[in-house]
Amino acid sequence: MNINKRILMVVTNGQSMSNGHLAGIWLSEFTEPYEELTSKGYEITIVSPNGGESQIDPNSLAGEGIPSKCRTSLIY
């Protein structure tokens, strides 16, 4: 493993915003860089500030929020 090819991705633990709307990881903002970087040989470690699971923002699962690479593999 090349130590220069390691990336730490920090994702949110947020599940709702102060206005009550649901929140979480915006799918395309996570998957697009992840896919690009892993295809270039980077080792990625994913963490969140509070540890544990992080939710996907449900609004990112509609329309343009879903990266084209992921659309065919998602099960509704």
- List pLDDT tens digits, range 14-66: 777 788 777 788 888 888 899 899 999 999 999 999 998 888 888 888 766 56
Asked if pLDDT for residue 5 goes beyond 50, the answer is yes
**Pairwise pLDDT comparison (16 vs 71), residue with the higher score:** 16
| pTM: predicted TM-score of the whole model, two decimal places | 0.70
Instruction: Choose among 64, 57, 51, 63: nearest CA to 17.
Output: 57
Q: What is the pLDDT of residue 75?
A: 45
Chain centre distance of CA 70: 12
pLDDT-derived band at 69, boundaries 50, 70, 90: low
Which residues, other chains included, contact 11 with Cβ-Cβ below 8 Å and sequence gap of 6+? Answer: 25, 30, 46, 47, 48, 54
